[in-house]
Structure 1
């Protein structure tokens, strides 16, 4: 992905400054790539982003999250059995208890224009976000990046056929001390880690 190559390139900032000085005052704004836009907005919302190139890096990052939060030998709320088996071996107790230390899940899409995570009843059944644990660990892939929520909804509709899932929602607020405005009224704040696996 272009963003992650840029992160590893030390000359990127000086290249960007040179490009900007060549552009005129009234030249149209350059459109950000979808991956860069998502990363910027997700971090601005307070989410914790862990980019992984392969499954080994995903497991290592997951281990670091457990270590950082002291979540070993704790209950994990996980509805997805495939995900539970993928992260088996960390001495966790996978259950459906809402009092668990954290919620482990996949998502439908990663929405770039507002840095949110799109979920539906495939991940959270009929539960409200407020009924789920405060801490989230979301496993996603780079192919799940979409520009807008409507693109994400279109993908859900196309994959579901006649059985469109209910309880479709987004999580966008990841900081507890952030000031609320009328756009975030009623939304649940979650401490969220995103494990993003490169699959493109």
Structure 2
């Protein structure tokens, strides 16, 4: 028992119960499967999550996003050559865009404990998050879900032995804070869709 509590008594009688529930929540968080933890935290941050069992579903969901936002035949930022076919199929322009509607990108990893997305210069070149379009569509695979940001940095080191990327950053907030929140200070909220392909 705290020395202050011995002298002054408990200001809040429920504080011991709250501590127990906080402890049980953190213990429960450790037992939740990593993919469920990511999904929960990602949605809590305001992200739009679209699970896909195969590549055909990825294409279908991508087209649904385009239709929902009326983005057909728009300009797009995309640096990932593997994603160009999705853009070509939908007549989207990605060569030197002047007024891009959205960014289409892959990512390095999905960070479960904070529901964020880890990018590097391989996906976003040298752009800072606030220089990217407000609308982002990310293509990722379930095998890219990892526990914490430190695991993501380790994965980047393993993946790129020689050609180590720069501009490693995460995007975590996917909607504007309803109230002033100091944890979001300096960060830019993005309207983000995640197309998650099952590959495990």
Q: Given the two structures, how large is their TM-score scaled by the length of structure 2? A: 0.82
Match of 1:123 in 2: 123
Given the alignment of the two structures, is residue 140 of structure 1 paired with residue 137 of structure 2, yes or no? Answer: no
How far apart, in 2, do the equivalents of 1:151 and 1:159 lie?
12
The 1:87–1:197 alpha-carbon spacing in structure 2 relative to 1, beyond 3 Å, is: farther
Match of 2:109 in 1: 109
Unmatched 5+ residue regions in structure 1?
A: 1-24
How far apart, in 2, do the equivalents of 1:98 and 1:187 lie?
24
How far apart, in 1, do the equivalents of 2:150 and 2:179 lie?
27
CA contact (8 A) 2:87 2:93 kept: no
Note the C-alpha offset of 1:43: 0.3
The 5-angstrom pairing of residues 150-169 of structure 1 reads 150-169=150-169
Match of 1:4 in 2: none
Deviation digits for residues 116-173 of structure 1, max 9, x if unmatched?
A: 0000101111111111111000000000000100001100011111432111100000
Aligned length: 176
How far apart, in 2, do the equivalents of 1:186 and 1:46 lie?
17
How far apart, in 2, do the equivalents of 1:108 and 1:71 lie?
25
Match of 1:10 in 2: none
How far apart, in 2, do the equivalents of 1:96 and 1:158 lie?
32
Note the C-alpha offset of 1:98: 5.7
Match of 2:42 in 1: 42
Note the C-alpha offset of 1:178: 3.3
How far apart, in 1, do the equivalents of 2:103 and 2:59 lie?
16
Q: CA RMSD in A?
A: 1.8
Question: What's the secondary structure of 1:156's corresponding residue?
Answer: helix
Q: Rg larger in 1 or in 2?
A: 2
Unmatched 5+ residue regions in structure 2?
A: 1-20
Question: What's the secondary structure of 2:104's corresponding residue?
Answer: strand
Deviation digits for residues 13-56 of structure 1, max 9, x if unmatched?
A: xxxxxxxxxxxx99893311001100000000000000000001
Note the C-alpha offset of 1:177: 4.2
The 1:57–1:183 alpha-carbon spacing in structure 2 relative to 1, beyond 3 Å, is: same
Match of 1:9 in 2: none
How far apart, in 2, do the equivalents of 1:99 and 1:62 lie?
20
How far apart, in 2, do the equivalents of 1:110 and 1:66 lie?
23
Deviation digits for residues 58-83 of structure 1, max 9, x if unmatched?
A: 01100100000000011111111221
How far apart, in 2, do the equivalents of 1:117 and 1:95 lie?
25
How far apart, in 1, do the equivalents of 2:122 and 2:180 lie?
29
Question: What's the secondary structure of 1:66's corresponding residue?
Answer: helix
How far apart, in 2, do the equivalents of 1:62 and 1:98 lie?
22
Given the alignment of the two structures, is residue 85 of structure 1 paired with residue 108 of structure 2, yes or no? Answer: no
